[in-house]
Chains A and B, each alone.
Chain A
Amino acid sequence: MDRRTFLKLAGIGSLSFAAGCSDPEKTIYSLVKAPDDMVTGQAKWYATTCRECPAGCGVLVKNREGRVIKIEGNPLHPINKGKVCIRGQAALQGVYNPGRLKSPILKTENGLQNISFSDAENLLSEKFSIAKISGSGRIKMMTEVVSRPLYQIFDHIMTTYGADAPTVFEPFAYESLKTANEMVFGIDGLFSYKMEQSDFLISFGADFLDTWLSPVEYTIKFKEMHGVRNGKKGRFVHISPSQTLTAANADTWIPCNIDDETIVALGLIREMIVWGKGETLDKSLLGNLQSIADPYTIQKVSEQTGISERLISGISESLVKSRHPLVLGSGNSFNGERSLETCIASNLLNLLLNPDLSQLDFNERYRVETAARRSEIYNFFNEVSEDKTNLLLLNNVNPVFTLPKQSGVQKALKNKSVFVVCFSNFMDETSAKADMVIPVAMPLESWDVYESTSKVITTLQPAMKPLYGDPQIGDLLIRSSFKDVTETEFYKTEVIRSLVKKGSISTELQWLNMVRNGGLYNVPENKASFSKKLSKKIFDVLLLDRKETTIPLSLAIMPSVRFFDGRGANRPWLSEIPDPLTKVVWQAPVLMHPETVKRNNLKHGDMTAIETDNGLVEAIVYETAGIKENVLGISMRRDHTIDGQFIEDKEDSIFSLLSANIENLSGGPISHARVISIKKAKSSEPLAHTDGSRLQHDRKIAMAMPFSQYSNSQDHKKTHGGSGLSMHEFPLTLPIPEGYDAHRDIYPSHEHENYRWAMVVDLDRCVGCAACMGACYAENNIGIAGKRQIINGREMSWVRVERYLDPEDNKKVIFLPMMCQHCDAAPCESVCPVYAPHHSKEGLNNQIYNRCIGTRFCSQNCPYKVRRFNWFGWKWPYPLNLQLNPDVTARSKGVMEKCSFCIQRIKEAHTTAKREKRKIKDGEVIPACAQTCPSDVFTFGNLMDPESRVSKLVSDKRAYQVMGYLNTKPAVIYLKKILNEI
């Protein structure tokens, strides 16, 4: 056969193939009965509460055709004011996790067996009856932090069966902070801080942007305090062993050894007394305090901690001069022997500096304060393994993972005479050891009310039907435990009744309004009485003779901004989105100071085996100046497969490196351990990171200016660049026809019709928390590439938060959110052979997926490296695919994609505006990233409208364009970060 014939035949073959294969037939299912509140193709929003951590932020959940597809903050909610963090965004992947259990599981002699929900319920009530027959106190229960009505039900059940009240377990129970509050203010609890009112903030390891108490709330408050306000800018000093996200946002981060915070705090107390603060205080108290703090002179503090004298005296001077200083103690990270002392000293500092304590809101208390101390948790498990317990109920806790090996939890669960029931949606370390696992409806599928704080009662309502028909734990327990006691009832009724009883609501209309608004936000204040009579114990604690034991090297297990205590690790987005500071994905490297790395003959990227007194861990070395020399840090992590499935045969958890020691006075855990040996491991794995470099190489990417320059400079032109063509002289060029300059431009400018969309990104407000990335993944159906592909450089994020270090001082960090710049002279548009990137009449740089042939020229030519190529058809294993946004194409293999400024939201606004025969209003279109950003970094709007917020912001003297000297005329205008020195 010659070539011609072959081509002919091949042509006929493919033609007939094409003719034979039209679209596969599809089915449209009609509903049997149409629900009142569902219009197909239109989203419905339900106000409920995020329960990914105990903070309890109010959220609005978007429901399309019966599936929840997006979470946004509830703007009415006083805690989070319409914003959600990255963990809140990823709550969807908990609901749709492929590892989510579909039915209860019973451990039998023949292995694990799936049983039906009704069988599980019957078995549970049988166990309750047995426990009742065998006598009182045969049941024990441990739960996560739950709402008041749910706790009351648990408690009621336990009392009925003659057992102790349920124990609330939360890995972060803030024992030292609680105890310090009790000792100094007489309040055994956790109250809120009016951080927004302060002008100088010192934090001794309180990571309020990461995990501390209520991160979204404090991010908002912090930016109010730290932003420019009436020509002034608050300052923030963070003192901790490792540079967490919070520390990275401090004006000055001071590294110190674990427990050395106490010395600094005591030194500051001495200084404050010397400066004459605290004169209004009780004389004897002041005298006592003086005698305790007296030895801590600046010289001594400097000697013991290695912090320069100048810095300490600078801080104390600023403290004295500031009008509303605020000092925070931690309680959940770097817990050591002296955490309690640090927290006491912080409280005392507040008392010295602000005798009226106006910035501490004792009336607003966090729900997490109900969590039991670690010592009580250890007791609980010891009791289970020793006494007569028959039935152990664990509600959504994972103690096998979060507690050290010696804690007795393993022994308790192995006890043959105890029947362990886990109410958990996933197979995790604990449920794998349980006798029965009953999945229950997740918070987004349940009715409840939760007290975020004592002032805010927020409601939970099902935003969708439980995915696998799981019962709610309240209903399940009422049914199974009271089967023969009382008439069965619904938990929801119980919730309403408890509200009525409390006097919060009295009519049904009030309840409906409460559900609609997402909660009750004006709960009458319960005036907490606090005494300024300090407990004498304080002085005992502070005078405690500490043996000077210097640990040469200790390993700290740190809370993670992405995974919290490790619980979020099965949400693929959280692993796929890089850690804000290391930019590492899917791995938890060990942070090591360059000195330590050198001393141990290691190098950056080596796999190392670290042995502590209690266990061994293998981790990749991450060399960074963001940690103290004598400390190694690993964030709380769990190992999971790419789709969130639990790996059962994985070695011990990261917490097994710790000892089960507790700090005696507060009953809190110790979160670091002595390192015995550290050596290079045999195995190796490349570091999966997404940053090209930690430095900017003087390319004018993320820029900053000192506060003095910002407040003085009147000259606009100088700050907006000159008129030259060099890197520093290039002027700010807006992507509108006025930006056209015949001397510089090859291409003519684009004419726009009514709108030219643009975004202003304020670097001074960006804390780098990556909530925007989470929102973008959720909104735009971005694929999960996984560790291997990211090592190959194939991450898919449309918006990324870049982290750059100051070349002169590696401890200074600047964050820069980077997404498609929608340039007016877009380099991508001019190189595409098929016109797939296309400039729209509203200035957007459109990527037409079905036109794209995947040459990747555009990505090559894009100076911002924001274009992402689909190397594979990314998988959304069932039921993760149910989360996909039906308004956005799920891109297929071989197609280039990038940020669209959330075009689907722009179109939505167009539809509404057109219908109302008007133009789109400023602020009507809010892209997903801008919507969720807790610190309001992003402003989106129309540059053609001179009255829009973006048009006004671009004339700010801080405005610049990233690599604007390339004359791409980006539509994303950045505002420089303002540096504030101590």
Chain B
Amino acid sequence: MDDRRKHRWISFLKIKGSALFWTASCAALAIFLVLFLYVWPEWKMGPEQPISFSHQVHAGVKQINCRFCHSYVDRSQHPGMPPVEKCLYCHKYIIAEHPEIKKEHNYYNTNTPTPWKKVFYLPEHVFFKHQRHIDREIQCQECHGEVEKMDRLKGVNFKMGFCIKCHREKEGTPLGCWLGCHN
């Protein structure tokens, strides 16, 4: 870079420098506020659900077995989400007038599926079978964390290392790519 051009750059920065600085710091502050107020809670707690369902109350305090709600887990690759009907088996009688339960009644009466937010993610090319893991008597908490202590579930983005760790440790677990997960 020749001297003249360098000089022009420096003078440009001197004049516009302070303006640039203030704009940049304002933008940074705005981004920080947005992150702090909106994104941060989600990071910590997981996404907000359409009905503020508490796993802590159901699985922790009331000691309801996971498989009561997620009933397909031992016979299918999907654990299954409880149908609205099933929630109302109890909540027809228990705190039936609670505003959150009323939402549930509303879903049932209008025949609308509940749009739960997904919290545990697997890449789309991975075919995980719950059934096989249940057959080996692996506790739900081993992968899903201490669900019974969380109100709103904080999700996990499962990565391959997470799976491989167990599969290497335990005997008789498939390590074949296709035979395991990828197909």
A positions within 8 Å CB-CB of B: 22-23, 25-34, 39-42, 838, 840-842, 844, 846, 848-850, 887-889, 900, 903-904, 906-907, 910-911, 914-915
Q: Which of B19-27, B123-131, B141-149 contacts A (4 or more CB under 8 A)?
A: B123-131
How distant is the Cα of A30 from the Cα of B107 in the complex, in angstroms? 10
Q: Are B118 and A26 in contact (CB under 8 A)?
A: yes
Nearest CB to that of B107 among chain A residues? A32
Interfacial chain A residues near B135, Cβ < 8 Å: 914-915
Contact of B161 with A by CB under 8 A: no
Tell me, rounded to whole Å, the shortest Cβ–Cβ distance linking A721 to chain B.
32
Number of residue pairs across A and B with beta carbons under 8 Å?
118
Contact of B114 with A by CB under 8 A: yes
* Known contacts A32-B112, A41-B72; A25 and B182 CB within 8 A of each other: no
The secondary structure that dominates the A interface is loop
Contact of B99 with A by CB under 8 A: no
Tell me, rounded to whole Å, the shortest Cβ–Cβ distance linking B164 to chain A.
14
Q: Are A25 and B117 in contact (CB under 8 A)?
A: yes
Nearest CB to that of B172 among chain A residues? A914
* Known contacts A41-B77, A911-B131; A22 and B157 CB within 8 A of each other: yes
Interfacial chain A residues near B179, Cβ < 8 Å: 840-842, 844, 903, 906-907, 910
How distant is the Cα of A27 from the Cα of B117 in the complex, in angstroms? 5
Nearest CB to that of B1 among chain A residues? A2
**Which B34-83 residues have C-beta < 8 A from chain A?**
47, 72, 75-78, 80-83
Contact of B183 with A by CB under 8 A: yes
Contact of B116 with A by CB under 8 A: yes
Beyond the given pairs A25-B47, A27-B116, A30-B84, 14 more chain A to chain B contacts, judged by CB atoms under 8 angstroms and listed by A's residue number, are: A26-B117, A27-B117, A30-B113, A32-B83, A32-B111, A33-B83, A40-B78, A841-B179, A842-B176, A844-B178, A846-B176, A907-B183, A911-B129, A911-B131
Contact of B86 with A by CB under 8 A: yes
How distant is the Cα of A914 from the Cα of B129 in the complex, in angstroms? 13
Q: Which of B78, B121, B129, B179 has the most CB of A within 10 A?
A: B179
Q: Are B131 and A32 in contact (CB under 8 A)?
A: no
Interfacial chain B residues near A22, Cβ < 8 Å: 157
Q: Are B177 and A40 in contact (CB under 8 A)?
A: no
How distant is the Cα of A34 from the Cα of B112 in the complex, in angstroms? 13
Q: Are B183 and A42 in contact (CB under 8 A)?
A: no
How distant is the Cα of A26 from the Cα of B72 in the complex, in angstroms? 21
Interface residues on B, range: 35 or more
How distant is the Cα of A849 from the Cα of B127 in the complex, in angstroms? 13
29 example contacts (A-B, Cβ-Cβ < 8 A) are as follows A25-B47, A26-B118, A26-B121, A29-B114, A30-B81, A30-B82, A30-B113, A31-B81, A31-B113, A32-B112, A33-B84, A34-B85, A39-B72, A39-B75, A41-B72, A838-B177, A840-B176, A840-B177, A840-B179, A841-B176, A846-B182, A849-B182, A850-B123, A887-B127, A889-B127, A889-B182, A907-B129, A907-B179, A914-B135
How distant is the Cα of A887 from the Cα of B183 in the complex, in angstroms? 8
* Known contacts A846-B177, A910-B179, A914-B135; A32 and B85 CB within 8 A of each other: yes
Tell me, rounded to whole Å, the shortest Cβ–Cβ distance linking B10 to chain A.
15
How distant is the Cα of A286 from the Cα of B117 in the complex, in angstroms? 83
* Partner among B81, B83, B123, B131 whose Cβ is within 8 Å of the Cβ of A28: B81
* Known contacts A31-B113, A32-B83, A32-B112; A25 and B183 CB within 8 A of each other: no
Tell me, rounded to whole Å, the shortest Cβ–Cβ distance linking B2 to chain A.
15
How distant is the Cα of A32 from the Cα of B135 in the complex, in angstroms? 28
Q: Are B183 and A903 in contact (CB under 8 A)?
A: yes
Nearest CB to that of A906 among chain B residues? B179
Interfacial chain A residues near B112, Cβ < 8 Å: 32
* Known contacts A34-B85, A848-B182, A849-B182; A29 and B113 CB within 8 A of each other: yes
Q: Which of B76, B112, B135, B182 has the most CB of A within 10 A?
A: B182
Interfacial chain A residues near B183, Cβ < 8 Å: 887-889, 900, 903-904, 907
